[in-house]
Structure 1
Amino acid sequence: MTKQFSRTNLLLLAVLVLQLAALVAGAAFILARIDGLDQARRSREDSLTEEIRSNAEMLEAVVRTLHLDNEQTNEMRELLGLPPVRPSALNDLMQRADSDSGSTHPLTEAVQRLIQHRNHEDAREFLAGFVSSPGFAEALSGLDLRYSERSVTEGELTRNGTRFFRLQASADEVSVLPMTGTSRTFATANTSFQSYLERSSAEIETHLQALSRRRQEFSELPQQPQVRTALQERRITAHLAQGEQRSELELRNNYGETLHTLRFSYAEGTVRGFGSGTIGVAELAQKLPQFIQELDNRPQVEREVSRQRDKLVELLSEPSLAEQLQESGVRIETTPRTSQRHYLFDVIDLSRNRSIGALGLHRDDATLRLFDSEDVPIGPLPELQNHVLSTNSRMSPVTDITVSEGSRTFLLIGVHERIADVVMIAHANPGKQSISILSIPRDLFYRGRRVNAVYQVFGVDRLMRELKEITGLHIDDYIMVDMYAFIDVVDVVGGVTIELEEPLRDPNFVVRDEGRWTTLAYDAGTQELSGIEALRVARSRGTSSDFERSHRQQQIVEAVLHALREMSPNQLQQAARSVFRHLDSSLSPIAAVNHLLRYRDYTVERREGLDTSNVLYHTYSNLYFQGKAPDAEVDEDFDRGAWILLPINDDWNEVRNYVQSIILGVRS
């Protein structure tokens, strides 16, 4: 029984051995077949390549023959007085080859593309086999590395989302490029590959830890005592922005203009933007306070005008120019005198030793003009401006928003004690037969001051210019009215009717009506207002925000426009003569009436305002100057400064884009 069982086991074992041998033989046959197919594929590709090259040579010979035949045919046709035959597509192809002996024939280019495609496929297959091999998986398992494909011939190894290695495949090897250290190439994912990954991963981890410390040190630079003191003394703010590849530290003046940018590279661990080359964070920390002290923190316009003035002085100081001018009997002073808006370089008549005029450099925009002896402008100097001063100019003028042909923009200013308490822009669009009204908040902070103070300090021309820079809108005319004239304007049109969406209660606004003192109180709904009542509604802000107040002011302006539309031309002229005695405007009464008649059928399509619900954020001036967030924790005795409004991300383009959306009805 035992012997029979043993024989049975031996038979089963023999059968298993035979089956295993058959499997091995089958696998070997399959592998040999695959290798044979691959060799056959390569052989066919080589044959096809050779065949294409041979055909290209034959085709080139045919083309040359046709080209010669075409020339002979045209010679015969010329003798017969017939026009030449237009070359065929083959002749054009041949002419291209003849005209550029250094160029590659189109068929050769096709062959090269085929070869590149084959190499690309080989690299794809090799990388796929490399990363699917057991050795590759084993090498990654203990290093917490993950593989992801970037393309069919490239991949990367990451740890916790950070790329440690980049893999690039060719037809027979893979190049491994580490974040830091020396790259290597491998034909297989063997033990050498695993050892390389282990060693390089440890080096990269150490490198990343050092980078993290340096990155933190870079971000803390503005808080270092000496740096913070220098920033405060120079009224410069530091703004940190952190991205995926680098951190940037922008140094800005109190006009929000970038003076200098320092860039910390995560890959290098060094800072660029401080002199030539790179600098370490520790060395930068020592040199940054002095660097800040030496920065020119003036507005960009002033810096550019100063540069242009120095350039003009340098030009006027050239001996050759002085000789030419002397031959003409004049000299130009190289030390300018200063007027309200210009630097004036006097032109002296040598025979009389007195000024006959001057070259004027505008102090706001660096434009050049010619002046007579009484400082009256004669005209611009475009040739001198373009060929001498404007070269390499760093000024960046604001681009006007493109508006419909025939459009007109008006600035409406409500003034109280020389301060622009109400600022609105009204834009008439003939294309849409509509009017858009945009309120500018008085606390908007631009070029170091709130816009409501610009009129008080510089006047209406400067206010119009700065509003153009802020909004991108060219302003054609302005109308300025003080609070008492406002009362007369509303009364002249017979009062206004507005709709209050909510009750208006202001216990701090004391009024006297019919001999009785009380506080401001209006119910929600329709309200018919006289001039004094309209002024109260327009000025109240005790229980409402400035933005809500702007909304009421827009309602009153729209109501005044509506009342004016209802008047006849004669009534409009009488009203204009009466009203214009109480206001200041770039328009004459007749011009104002003409505009009212032209726009009387227009509808007020949009009533909007710049505020914190769209493109602005609020902070305090001293917090802003020191680069602190609006909600930053500060000492109890710290003066936060004035409440101000700024564009989101301190980007004035956001404001201009929003204004464009109001005027054109689209958001850029």
Structure 2
Amino acid sequence: MNNGKDHEQLGEMHWRYVEESHSTHESAHKDSQPWWKSFLKSHFTLHDLRWAFLGVGVAFIVLTAGTAYVNKKIVNELQEKDQQVNSLIEEVGELKQDNLTLYTQLNANTEAVTAIQENIARLKERVQLVDQSDAFALQSQVETLNNDLNTQSVALKSLINAGLTFSGFSKVEAQESFEVLILGTHGRLTDTVMLASVNAETEKINLVSIPRDLVVGGRRINESFYRFGIDEVRNQIEDVTGLYPEKYVVIDMKSFEDLVDALGGIDVQVKKDLYDSMYPGPNYTYETLNIKAGNHHFDGVTALKYARSRKSTTDFDRAARQQEIIESLKTKILSTNPLTNVDQVIGIYDSLKESVQTDIDLWALISYIRQYSEYEVLGGHVLSTSNYLYPTTGEGGAYLLVPKAGDFSEIQAYVAGVVNGEEVNEDEVQK
């Protein structure tokens, strides 16, 4: 009996030991798990965790694919832009090479013409020295060389016409006008604002002067160039006149003197006496300028003084004198035949291109000379207080000019009439 009870007690003790060991092992196993696994098991079922991991995987795949697509698109766009830039660079290079080739051909033809002229001169000298029997043979040679000279001139003219393609120049068609903005600067400010309008139908070039004190866009127009640049001045000129200048020339005082001197001076018909005892001299001094009415030949310095003087007259009188100077310059420049004086034209252009701001290249300049040499220049169109403007004062007592109509509509109508060749009586527009 005692042995059976002892056997039962031992069995119970064994199973108790096994259960306690198993419990202790499970507890130890739970304690050894990472905290996040315990957290997930306590808050989510296995099914929930599978769907969560599946969603994260899909999102990662979509993000990766989207990033790859965007990167590919950006790379393709950059490659396309790079191809466009390379194409533009190649086109510019080809255009420069074409211009260089054309310029080289022009110089070669000019040299050929000069050589032929020298040969003709030498042959004429020989004609005077030989007897009658040789004279006929020499005369035949002279005639042959003269024919060659004419051929060279025709070839040179063709080259100049071909140059129009590279310069972007196009002739003014009938019923259209072509405008050039002319600015004369002194330091930062603009002293001269003038619009030259070319009309192919009337074959006239009309000069319209705009006073420097005219208020456009809240400022005097003579401040616009140095503050905002040439494009803003072009826009303001269009606001005032209704005409947008396709080309422009900006010239300072020194460049103007050099231009007149390079041409050998200009002939000006002075309409009335000009006496100015307060003309600015060197080192903040004054000097007297006294020019009598009549015909004068001005060098660069005198022409500039005549155009700038204003102490004894008004800005409007000065604008009229500046138009006279432009007319004289046109007469002198356009009297130069580019077919026989190409070297002079090129020399003047090269000497001034560094100091004169313009978008008119050499080929366009030569073409303008050829096309407009017979056009009549008409001045006397000056916006002033005697017609469409009235004076006022601004901040600090600054002298200002504003349109009498409150806007530029009357001025635009007046300019349109001038440009289109309508009969405009300057006395009738004075108010």
Q: Distance in 2 between matches of 1:423 and 1:509?
A: 21
Answering whether residue 425 of structure 2 is matched by residue 425 of structure 1, we say no
Tell me which structure has the larger Cα radius of gyration: 2
Q: Which has the higher helix share?
A: 2
Q: Secondary structure at the match of 2:405?
A: helix
Please name the residue that 2:218 is paired with: 448
Distance 2:192 2:77 in 1: 42
Give the 3 Å change call, closer, same or farther, for CA 655–423 of structure 1 in structure 2. same
Partner of 1:613: 386
Which residue is equivalent to 2:352?
A: 579
1:547 to 316, 330, 347: 316
1:485 is aligned, of 255, 269, 272, to: 255
For residues 572 and 407 of structure 1, the distance between their equivalents in structure 2, rounded to whole angstroms, comes to 25
Give the AA of the match of 2:356: L
CA deviations on 1:201-228 (whole Å, 9 max, x unpaired) are xxxxxxxxxxxxxxxxxxxxxxxxxxxx
Aligned with 2:412 (options 627, 638, 656): 656
Q: CA RMSD, aligned part only?
A: 3.4
Q: Structure 2: how far apart are the matches of 1:542 and 1:584?
A: 28
Separation in structure 2 between the aligned mates of residue 540 and residue 356 of structure 1, nearest angstrom = 63
What is aligned with 2:269? 499
- TM-score, with structure 1 as normaliser: 0.37
2:326 to 557, 577, 588: 557
Alpha-carbon distance in structure 1 between the residues aligned to 2:220 and 2:75:
41
Alpha-carbon distance in 2 for matches of 1:475, 1:517:
37
1:519 aligned partner: 288
Separation in structure 1 between the aligned mates of residue 75 and residue 187 of structure 2, nearest angstrom = 41
Instruction: Report the alpha carbon displacement of residue 455 of structure 1 after superposing the two structures with TM.
Output: 0.2
- Asked if 1:459 corresponds to 2:229, the answer is yes
Change (3 A) 1:587 1:356: farther
Q: Does the 8 A contact of 1:413 with 1:479 survive in 2?
A: yes
Amino acid at match of 2:418: I
CA shift, 1:418, in A, is 2.5
**What pairs up with 1:158-173 in 2 under 5 angstroms?**
none
Residue type at the aligned position of 1:586: D
How far apart are residue 572 of structure 1 and its match? 2.8
Report the CA distance between 1:510 and its aligned residue. 4.5
Residue 301 of structure 2 corresponds to: 532
Matched residue pairs, number? 268
For residue 406 of structure 1, report the CA deviation from its aligned partner: 5.1
- How far is 1:517 from its partner? 8.4
When normalised by structure 2's length, the TM-score is: 0.56
Higher share of residues assigned strand: 1
* Structure 1 residues 491 and 651, CA gap change in structure 2 (3 angstroms): same
Displacement of 1:492 in angstroms is 1.2
Task: Report the residue type matching 2:361 in the other structure.
Answer: S
Q: 1:355 to 1:547 in 2, by over 3 A?
A: farther
Check conservation: 1:576, 1:593, Cα contact below 8 A.
Answer: no
Find the aligned partners of 2:232 and 2:280 in 1 and give their Cα distance.
35
One-letter amino acid of the structure 2 residue matched with residue 577 of structure 1:
D
Distance 2:323 2:77 in 1: 48
Partners of 1:355 and 1:416 in 2: how far apart?
51
Which residue of structure 2 lines up, in the alignment, with residue 476 of structure 1? 246
Structure number with greater CO (CA < 8 Å, separation at least 6) is 2
Per-residue CA deviations over 1:429-453 (Å, capped at 9, x if unaligned) read: 1111111001111001011101110
Q: 1:450 to 1:510 in 2, by over 3 A?
A: closer
Equivalent residues of 1:658, 1:667 under 8 A apart:
no
CA distance in 2, matches of 1:473, 1:604: 18
Matches within 5 A, 1:6-21: none
Contact 1:547/1:611 (CA < 8 Å) preserved in 2? yes
- CA–CA distance in structure 2, aligned partners of residues 443 and 566 of structure 1: 35
